[in-house]
Amino acid sequence: MRATILSLGAMALLITTLSGCTKDAPTTPDTTPKKYAVKGTVTPKTAEAVDGVTITMGTRTATTTATGAYSFSDVDTGSYVVTPSKAGITFTPATKSIKVSTADVTGVDFVATGAVTPTHIVPEMIAIEPGTFMMGGKASQPSGDNAKPQHQVMLTRAYSIGKTEVTQAQYMSVMGSNPSIHKGDSLPVGSMSPIDAMQYCNTLSTLEGLTPCYTISGLTVTWNPDANGFRLPTEAEWEYAARAGTTDNTYNGVNDGRYPNAVLEPIAWFSRNSAISPPYDGTTSRPQIVATKMPNAWGLFDVLGNAEEWTYGSLTTYTTDAQTDPGRTTSPLSESVLRGSSYRQPATEIMIPTRVGAQLNAWFDSAGLRVARNR
């Protein structure tokens, strides 16, 4: 009986031992295809815009970010041709052949050439509608030189005019130089002759793909009034915009020429408030950052004081006769007219009707410009 029990125990131990030696079941191989990523960057050769480049790879497309980066995810193994495209840009290389097999593919890069991002600065413009106004100084008010008699003027064509005088940064971005004596990016550009001002207008027009307004040959200038490029305003356009519907010798009331001057102080930089030290006669006066005084009702800054502004036209003698679109002529120009006075002038000259004529090659450190355009 005892032997039988031992025999049965030995048998159980043997079964247990044998069952512990049983092999694991075989593992089923993972047959799911591997997926990978393809990444690259489009870089500019100079200053090209590398955002929005379309990258084609097989039947798939991706678009570059602002930094020129792109990527494809979940890419099957295989061979592909990667091609970038964007209007106005060529790429080096034009295509790239890649093979996706056992890992992500990176560094699929291209260099973009052409369609350089513009670096020139276009002045902000204010739209001006046609209208009729009284040009010149009232008989009852001080009005500066060459400003009377007052007469009716009708402007029949809409135009746009600069919100501020052209700044030194704006001029530098177009012409590549800064002739101003007193330097500062946000100061009005100075030391301008009429020829200089019109050459700036022509160059800016070309950069913007517009038709230049002026043909300049030495000291002879002709204007194409129908060109869509940038230009100087005519005297009438300048005064109409400066007045912004007002009728006094400033857009802030009547300037009596005295100091202190509650009419001028809020709206204009002139010899008294732009001087860095006495005497207040213009010798120590300096141009000031544009758009720091109160604008007129149409949003134009510094139409009085700061830089004086070249306009297109000759210093004709006023009469009481009504006029339509004066100064809009294709006849050759021999001189130009400064309007608005400057930071160097006393209060007695800072008036909308004030006019000063000069030859086309004459320049003054306080003379700048405000651009206009046909609409």
Element (H, E) at 337: strand 335-339
Q: What is the dihedral of CA 294, 295, 296, 301, to 10 degrees?
A: 130
Instruction: Measure the N-to-C terminal CA separation of the chain; round to a whole number of Å.
Output: 123
In the chain, what are the domain boundaries? 36-113, 118-375
Q: Which two tokens stand for residue 279?
A: 């005497």
Give the residue among 155, 158, 154 at the shortest CA–CA distance from 128: 158
List, edge to edge, every strand of the sheet that includes 151-155.
Answer: 131-135, 151-155, 323-324
Q: Are 355 and 265 in contact (CB under 8 A)?
A: no
Q: Which residue(s) pair with 159 in the sheet?
A: 128, 374
CATH of 118-375, one of 3.90.1580.10, 3.30.365.10, 3.30.1960.10, 3.30.460.80: 3.90.1580.10
Work out the pLDDT band at 274, boundaries 50, 70, 90. Answer: very high
Residues in the chain: 375
pLDDT at 47: 82
Give the residue among 144, 155, 152, 183 at the shortest CA–CA distance from 167: 183
- Average pLDDT for residues 34-52, to the nearest whole number? 93
**How far is it, in rounded angstroms, from Cα 54 to Cα 1?**
91
Query: What value does the mean pLDDT of the chain take?
Result: 92
Q: Are 343 and 305 in contact (CB under 8 A)?
A: yes
pLDDT at 88: 87
Give the residue among 65, 119, 58, 111 at the shortest CA–CA distance from 89: 111
pLDDT at 272: 95
pLDDT digits 0-9 by tens, 142-201? 998 799 999 999 999 999 999 999 999 999 999 999 999 999 999 999 999 999 999 999
pLDDT at 92: 96
pLDDT at 116: 64
Work out the pLDDT band at 46, boundaries 50, 70, 90. Answer: confident
Alpha helices in the chain (DSSP H): 2-20, 168-175, 194-207, 235-243
**How far is it, in rounded angstroms, from Cα 351 to Cα 136?**
10
Q: Are 228 and 210 in contact (CB under 8 A)?
A: yes
Work out the pLDDT band at 7, boundaries 50, 70, 90. Answer: very low
Q: Which two tokens stand for residue 229?
A: 């490029």
The conformation of residue 138, written as its DSSP 8-state character, comes to -
pLDDT at 314: 94
Classify 32 as helix, strand or coil: coil
Q: Are 304 and 250 in contact (CB under 8 A)?
A: yes
**How far is it, in rounded angstroms, from Cα 375 to Cα 368?**
23
Give the residue among 303, 300, 305, 301 at the shortest CA–CA distance from 291: 301
Domain range 36-113, CATH class? mainly beta
Amino acid identity, residue 227?
A
Q: Is pLDDT larger for residue 3 or for residue 188?
A: 188
Handedness of CA 293, 298, 304, 308 (dihedral sign): positive
Work out the pLDDT band at 14, boundaries 50, 70, 90. Answer: very low
Amino acid identity, residue 78?
G
- Average pLDDT for residues 129-148, to the nearest whole number? 95
Q: Are 159 and 332 in contact (CB under 8 A)?
A: no
pLDDT digits 0-9 by tens, 57-110? 999 999 999 999 999 999 999 999 999 999 889 999 999 999 999 999 999 999
Work out the pLDDT band at 30, boundaries 50, 70, 90. Answer: low
pLDDT digits 0-9 by tens, 204-253? 999 999 999 999 999 999 999 999 999 999 999 999 999 999 999 999 99
pLDDT at 26: 61
DSSP track, 49-62: --TT-EEEETTEEE
Q: Which two tokens stand for residue 308?
A: 């004086």
- Quote the percentage of the chain above a pLDDT of 90: 87
Q: Is pLDDT larger for residue 117 or for residue 349?
A: 349
Q: Is pLDDT larger for residue 2 or for residue 348?
A: 348
pLDDT at 312: 97
- Average pLDDT for residues 12-21, to the nearest whole number? 46
pLDDT digits 0-9 by tens, 71-86? 999 999 999 999 999 9
Amino acid identity, residue 303?
V
On the question of pLDDT at 10 being above 60, the answer is no
Q: Which two tokens stand for residue 327?
A: 């100064």
